[in-house]
Structure 1
Amino acid sequence: MPVVRNILEINDRLAEENRRLFDEKKVLALNLMSSPGAGKTSLLERTVEGLGDRFGIAVIEGDIQSSYDAERIQKKGVQAVQINTDGACHLDGNMVQSALAALDLDSVDLLVIENVGNLVCPAEFNLGEHHKAMILSVAEGDDKPLKYPLMFQQSSVLLVNKIDLLPYVDCDLATIRQRTSQLNPNQTVFQVSCRTGEGLDAWYAWLEARIQEVKNA
């Protein structure tokens, strides 16, 4: 399909430009993906609370409509830019590049790009990030790695969120681990609750290590 190939090639070129900027500024860029309601913005709020006193954090928020999530993040005292895709189901390199112009990257150590809530399209488009991370809520069930394998295959990190709900939902953590390890044996998995804070210290430590890697590169 020449048209699809051309779109992806253009996106990859823009993503490479974004990546060069991130590397030049020594900014760790993370592409955060999940289905709607899995807890992306809640995780970002917790991450700002956990790391914001040691690192400069900025966020690019992607949604089909509204600025609600960006406003939530701005209340935490960090830079946040909202992208409204007006119906598009994912962010792309051009959208991110446009949003970067509104950020002061010289004061940023960690940039999190919160993609549109969707388990399909966001995994297909490179934004220039150093790592893809995804969230799976236990309320979604343990069958999602079977149904949406690409996102699990491409994500360096999987955060299994809302583990405080495990007594009330039909989801088995061991089954998630088994299915994701078959798709991506090198994936780092964290079991967390953004509501209670359980498991988040390990996530913060992973981020801090990745930030230092980018700074030392």
Structure 2
Amino acid sequence: MPFSLCALRNLSMGLLRPSFQEPNARLMPGPVTSEEEEESSSERRRYKAYTVMQKAGFQHTEYAQIMVHLCRAELFISLIFLAHGTTCPGYPNEAEYQSTCHMNTVSAIVGLITGALGLGAVHRYRWRTMLILWLVFCIMSSVGSLLAVITTGIWLDHYSKMKVRTGLGNGLSGFMLLGSVAFGVCFILTAVMICHYWNSHSTGYQPVGKIAVGF
């Protein structure tokens, strides 16, 4: 026979080996091991262990779930602030309230961009530039949230001095102030975790698994 059973098996195993063509992944060789084949005690099949290395990113760290939850919270709060800022219900003649609406709109737009960048960086992209851009937008969003807190505080102070006011309006304004604070805290935590990740992990390759290849 032109091919023995062992050669045919080796050929099929070679065709079924996984291919690592992704530019962000590479194989690192490890120690060589051996096992006896079942059909012949005199023939041994040798295996070489490889460690699968992938470009560093959040995907394979303990940061991933925390960052995803933070980004989702940022997107959720941004949508609420955007809805309030664009509609700006009530008090059309109060300059303090109108400035609060405008500031909420600005901070919401920057927050949406920051949350979208964060989800992209966690799930897909591993570029250093992406992390820098994400960090810069987190700082911008934190500043926007601080300005929203200031304008909301000015509006609350003005609202407390108005003759016509309701408990509902006072409660909603206070809730808006708390939301602005929570908004800023999310971005500050995100920026701190980005810096901590950057300082603790290599920007090169990190191990994501192991594989044994026969030869």
Which structure has the larger Rg?
Answer: 2
* TM-score (norm: length of structure 1): 0.23
More helix per residue: 2
